[in-house]
Chains A and B, each alone.
Chain A
Amino acid sequence: MPTSTDLLQGTLDLLILQTLSLEPMHGWGVAQRIQQVSKEALQIGQGSLYPALYRLEYKGWIKAEWGNSENNRRAKFYRLTAAGRRQLESELETWDRLSTAIGLVLGRTVEAPR
């Protein structure tokens, strides 16, 4: 599934971790949240979303639990683990450094990312 803007390699993981850091969410919710927050610029298809969720789960950064959705349907909720939170922090730092550096090279002033 193509996304409307090609994401940098590994950025999807960062976006998912950031989204889940607010509250536990199911896969659909994660996709919707990223789409809303990015003002429809980033659309995550299931073809890349679920492999990414599984990858993060296998790495132990998020944890999956079955629960009930808003409309009372059984759904799988993901939440950030302690390891995931640490990972998110270090990835955010890396992102800041990288985006500032790229901004400098491209001659743009970069807004604070958060």
Chain B
Amino acid sequence: MIRELLTRIRFLIFRKKRGELDEELRFHLEQSIAVKVAEGLPVAEARRQALIEFGGVEAARQECERQRPGWWLGTVAPDIRYAVRGILAHRWFSVAIMATLALGIGLNTMVFTLVNAVLYKPVSVPGGDRLVSVMGRNLAGDDRSLPFSYPDFQDYRAQATSFESFEAIDDERGILSESDNPPHLYHVAHATAGLLAMVHTKALLGRAFLPTDDHAGAEPVVVLSYNVWQERYAGLAGVIGRPVRVDGKAATIVGVMPKGFRFPSGVDLWMPLVPTTDLAKRDNRQLRGYAILKPGVTLRQANAEVNGIAGRLARQFPDDKDLGVSVLTFQQRFNGGNIRIVFLMMLAAVGFVLLIACADVANMMLSRALSRQREMSIRTALGATRWRLIRQLLIESVMLSTVGGVLGLGLAEAGIHWFDLSTQTIRPSWIEFSMDFTVFGYFAALCIVSGLLFGIAPALRSSKPDLVGVLKEGAHSVGRRRGGWLSAGLVVFQFALTLVLLTGAGIFVRALLNSLSINPSVPAAQLTTASLQLPDSRYKDSDARQRFYDRLLPRLRELPGISHAALASDAPGLGAPRQQIELEHVPIAIPAQRPWIAYVVQSPGYLETIHLPLLEGRDFNDIDGTAHHEAAIVTRDAATRLWPGQDPIGKRFRLYDDKNKASDWITVVGIAADLVQEVQENDPRPLLFVPYRQEGWSSISLVVESAADPLQAMRTTVQSLDPELPLNDPYLLKDALEHQTWFLRVFGRIFLGFALIAMLMASIGIYAVIAHVTNSRTQEIGVRLALGATMRNILLLVMKRGLWQIGAGLGLGLGAALPFAHLMASLPFGIARSDASIFLIVALGLASVGVFACWLPARRAAGLDPVKAIRYE
């Protein structure tokens, strides 16, 4: 067996010399002559008969050559040469094909890079391919992820054998302050001391954690991320050893991590997680686990092991009853569900674009197949087999797609860069949008597969020429009928896919426009918001917070350039908390059946600040919200839903908090116009306003109306009252709202781009097909014109076919777009239920573009000079 293989390989590499065979054949012939001479024939006659018997030498020679294993490889090189010559000879034709494919393959490579980064690629830290997220699971209820308690984490860490290392983090927001620097709120990861060592990352400056840093009584230390070091300390090396306060508690900066390191995601400061009595409670669940699997341990094995431990803990401790645990990759944990659907949807959409591009190219090649029939016939007549012709045509198409694809790589790179910038502030920092070997493999496969895909139909068609007909009559008179249904089918298919893409884009654009038109009375461009987080350590109760707010508000209103200032739990359009409501005289016994209602906690003057009209009753005064003066303002929508047909002013209701404790009875004092708090639902929901004295929140937003940028003045005012209190997340309300709709903006732009490219390609496709068919019917049209056909007759004749294709494509596309729109509406990104108008607008738009594309060649045909047309060759 092996010997045979070796022999074959030897002959594959070393060819036999041509001369050997010739000599062998000559010997054969001589022997044959010798025998005939011996039988008594004269030499000349013997030679003649022997030659006749012998037959064609060249055929035998070729047959011998074909016995060689892999002989056909040698014929690929000429095919490639021939393909290059063909590509260069039809330069513009080739450029058009390559440009189409560059778009198709480039966009696909780009989107696959994104999908790969979001759904598959390991996190880029050492051992990232074994990095997992470990979290609890609520087995009793909805199976959602839960953090661990510190004792649980320690039990898992002690018992689990699947992990090389297992660390935990308590993610918080903390205020960093020091004597000569304004305070600032940062993302602080309180981590077990092994976290940074787990991902094998050393400090750029100073040190990372020591193993003893998280022991009780250790010196409190802080490790900075590179960006905090640069922004807050201007990259000074002297920062090491600097004393600071985090949430008012002293700590020392000991190190700076390398640039770009934010592990696990977006962390500004790392501090050791030092156990406290509070943390030692088994029902205090705050920790998220991160682990590196041992080499060779699968996710399934790890899950099985830790769930075994979870079972033991659940039996041992009542607090851990119904608690499971799950080990997942970062992608599975953080990018599951809707994110996954959106990215896969994007991949599907861009796949459609490539299919449309391939259909376009296939149509171009088909139209050329007709004009190439003469060439193919000659090659067949000279003895080329069908397989040989197909192979040569496929080599040509794969070469075209590969060159197109390589050009598309540049496009992909640009697209990835754009997406990277567009999502920089939103995406988790561990996602890196960059190409890797997987992407490159996908790209290579795409080049080859699309080359075969668009090449196969034209190759099959061209390689089966009607030999006699073509050689006798010339190319233009045959193949018209047969070529028809295939290109027509491709055009129908293109229009159907384009309609699906346009519908998707239309739904996004519609949702975006809706989100821009919410709350028309609110002057979002003049309103500035920033939030305050009053730390519990210094503001122990609502009275303390209230006193702070009471001092702050008058000072803010006195600032020059500020026309209005107020406090609210959430600025317009930035969300709202909800509580269960119960109306007076309408008791509801079962808590689960009480309706929910959203509410905004506010200071007096808030409605004026956001210019929301008060329709009836009065605004809050300074007494509202104090004991026995509980009051609320409802929106008109809430009024009509809660008290239909009645005057709500003076009506009373109460709210239940999440521990099912009822508030005091609250009296409605006014009715305001509707307000949308949830941009993503872009739909006014019933909303209540309650005075801030009633609900003393530790976290509240300042809302200020001013002509110029008031931030600096606001910050100075706040810090004149409390120098340790930073102003968080400052925004112009307009920008904050845009931030809320980033998803619609980015993906809307992407889908719109895809859809427009698809529409362009589909129109070019139908134009090319109609133009080609019209061209090959020039003589016929000339005859019709000469016989008295009107302009209208000719237009109809040419366009009939195109109109039929567009109609069929739109019909098919509508059928496919409906479930697609349904899927999109199920995503919670503010995509409204699709209404018929989108389908109608999109279908009409596409139809008119398509009709225009067929009208162009039809008009040219109708304008032909009959005399010239009849003579047209």
> Which residues on A are within 8 Å of B, measured CB to CB?
1, 26-28, 31, 45-47, 50-51, 54-55, 58-60, 69, 71, 73-76, 83
Query: B24 on the interface (CB 8 Å rule)?
Result: yes
A54 touches B54 (CB 8 A): no
Not counting A28-B27, A76-B27, a sample of 18 additional A-B residue pairs whose C-beta atoms are within 8 angstroms of each other reads A1-B54, A1-B55, A27-B28, A28-B31, A45-B53, A46-B28, A46-B54, A46-B60, A47-B56, A47-B60, A51-B64, A51-B66, A58-B67, A59-B8, A60-B6, A73-B27, A75-B24, A76-B20
Of residues 1 through 56 on chain B, the ones whose CB sits less than 8 Å from some CB of chain A are 3-4, 6-8, 11, 16, 20-21, 23-25, 27-28, 30-32, 34, 53-56
> Please, which residues of chain B bring their CB within 8 A of the CB of A46?
25, 28, 54-55, 60
> Please, which residues of chain A bring their CB within 8 A of the CB of B30?
73
Of residues 48 through 88 on chain B, the ones whose CB sits less than 8 Å from some CB of chain A are 53-56, 59-60, 63-64, 66-69
- B97 to chain A minimum Cβ distance, whole angstroms, is 40
- A71 to chain B minimum Cβ distance, whole angstroms, is 8
A83 touches B27 (CB 8 A): no
> Please, which residues of chain A bring their CB within 8 A of the CB of B31?
28
Interface of B is mostly: helix
B24 touches A45 (CB 8 A): no
Report the bound CA distance from A76 to B59 in whole Å: 20
Report the bound CA distance from A31 to B24 in whole Å: 13
Contact of A51 among B11, B23, B67 (CB under 8 A): B67
> Across the two chains, which residue of chain B brings its CB closest to A71?
B34
Report the bound CA distance from A28 to B30 in whole Å: 10
20 A-B residue pairings within 8 Å (CB atoms) = A1-B53, A1-B54, A1-B55, A28-B28, A45-B55, A47-B56, A50-B24, A50-B25, A50-B60, A51-B67, A54-B68, A58-B69, A59-B8, A60-B4, A60-B8, A73-B30, A74-B27, A76-B23, A76-B24, A83-B3
- B138 to chain A minimum Cβ distance, whole angstroms, is 68
> Across the two chains, which residue of chain B brings its CB closest to A76?
B24
> Across the two chains, which residue of chain A brings its CB closest to B57?
A46
B265-290 vs A, Cβ < 8 Å mask (1 yes, 0 no): 00000000000000000000000000
Contact of A55 among B21, B23, B67 (CB under 8 A): B67
Contact of B27 among A26, A45, A59, A60 (CB under 8 A): A26
B67 touches A60 (CB 8 A): no
- B63 to chain A minimum Cβ distance, whole angstroms, is 4
- B218 to chain A minimum Cβ distance, whole angstroms, is 76
Given contacts A47-B59, A50-B21, contact A58 B28 (CB under 8 A): no
- A65 to chain B minimum Cβ distance, whole angstroms, is 12
A51 touches B24 (CB 8 A): no
Report the bound CA distance from A28 to B69 in whole Å: 25
> Please, which residues of chain B bring their CB within 8 A of the CB of A31?
28
Name the residue among B20, B27, B30 with the largest chain A CB count within 10 angstroms.
B27
> Please, which residues of chain A bring their CB within 8 A of the CB of B11?
58
Given contacts A1-B55, A74-B23, contact A59 B64 (CB under 8 A): no
Name the residue among A31, A50, A69, A83 with the largest chain B CB count within 10 angstroms.
A50
> Please, which residues of chain B bring their CB within 8 A of the CB of A60?
3-4, 6-8
B63 touches A47 (CB 8 A): yes
> Please, which residues of chain A bring their CB within 8 A of the CB of B27?
26-28, 69, 73-76
Q: Count contacts between A and B, CB distance < 8 Å.
A: 70
A54 touches B28 (CB 8 A): no
> Across the two chains, which residue of chain A brings its CB closest to B65?
A54
> Please, which residues of chain A bring their CB within 8 A of the CB of B54?
1, 45-46
Report the bound CA distance from A55 to B6 in whole Å: 15
> Please, which residues of chain A bring their CB within 8 A of the CB of B68?
54, 58
Q: How many of B's residues come within 8 Å of A, CB to CB?
A: 30
B4 touches A54 (CB 8 A): no
> Please, which residues of chain A bring their CB within 8 A of the CB of B23?
74, 76
- A16 to chain B minimum Cβ distance, whole angstroms, is 13
> Across the two chains, which residue of chain B brings its CB closest to A28?
B31
Report the bound CA distance from A84 to B27 in whole Å: 25
> Please, which residues of chain B bring their CB within 8 A of the CB of A54?
16, 64, 67-68
Report the bound CA distance from A45 to B3 in whole Å: 30
Report the bound CA distance from A28 to B31 in whole Å: 7
A47 touches B4 (CB 8 A): no
Report the bound CA distance from A75 to B27 in whole Å: 7
Name the residue among B6, B24, B55, B63 with the largest chain A CB count within 10 angstroms.
B24
> Please, which residues of chain B bring their CB within 8 A of the CB of A71?
34
> Across the two chains, which residue of chain B brings its CB closest to A66?
B20
**6 smallest A-B Cβ distances: which pairs?**
A60-B7, A51-B63, A55-B67, A54-B67, A28-B31, A54-B64
> Across the two chains, which residue of chain B brings its CB closest to A56?
B67
> Please, which residues of chain B bring their CB within 8 A of the CB of A76?
20, 23-24, 27
- B609 to chain A minimum Cβ distance, whole angstroms, is 91
Report the bound CA distance from A27 to B29 in whole Å: 11
> Across the two chains, which residue of chain A brings its CB closest to B5?
A60
> Across the two chains, which residue of chain B brings its CB closest to A60?
B7
> Please, which residues of chain A bring their CB within 8 A of the CB of B28?
27-28, 31, 46
> Across the two chains, which residue of chain A brings its CB closest to B12?
A58
- A3 to chain B minimum Cβ distance, whole angstroms, is 12
> Please, which residues of chain B bring their CB within 8 A of the CB of A27?
24, 27-28
- A53 to chain B minimum Cβ distance, whole angstroms, is 8
Report the bound CA distance from A74 to B24 in whole Å: 9
> Across the two chains, which residue of chain A brings its CB closest to B16?
A54
> Across the two chains, which residue of chain A brings its CB closest to B59?
A47
- A11 to chain B minimum Cβ distance, whole angstroms, is 17
> Across the two chains, which residue of chain B brings its CB closest to A82?
B3
- B678 to chain A minimum Cβ distance, whole angstroms, is 76
> Please, which residues of chain B bring their CB within 8 A of the CB of A74?
23, 27
> Please, which residues of chain A bring their CB within 8 A of the CB of B64?
50-51, 54
> Please, which residues of chain B bring their CB within 8 A of the CB of A26?
24, 27
> Across the two chains, which residue of chain A brings its CB closest to B60?
A47
> Please, which residues of chain B bring their CB within 8 A of the CB of A55?
67
Report the bound CA distance from A75 to B59 in whole Å: 21
Report the bound CA distance from A36 to B69 in whole Å: 32
Report the bound CA distance from A50 to B66 in whole Å: 11
> Please, which residues of chain B bring their CB within 8 A of the CB of A73?
27, 30
Report the bound CA distance from A73 to B23 in whole Å: 11
- A47 to chain B minimum Cβ distance, whole angstroms, is 5
Report the bound CA distance from A45 to B52 in whole Å: 11
- A105 to chain B minimum Cβ distance, whole angstroms, is 33
- A31 to chain B minimum Cβ distance, whole angstroms, is 8
> Please, which residues of chain A bring their CB within 8 A of the CB of B3?
60, 83
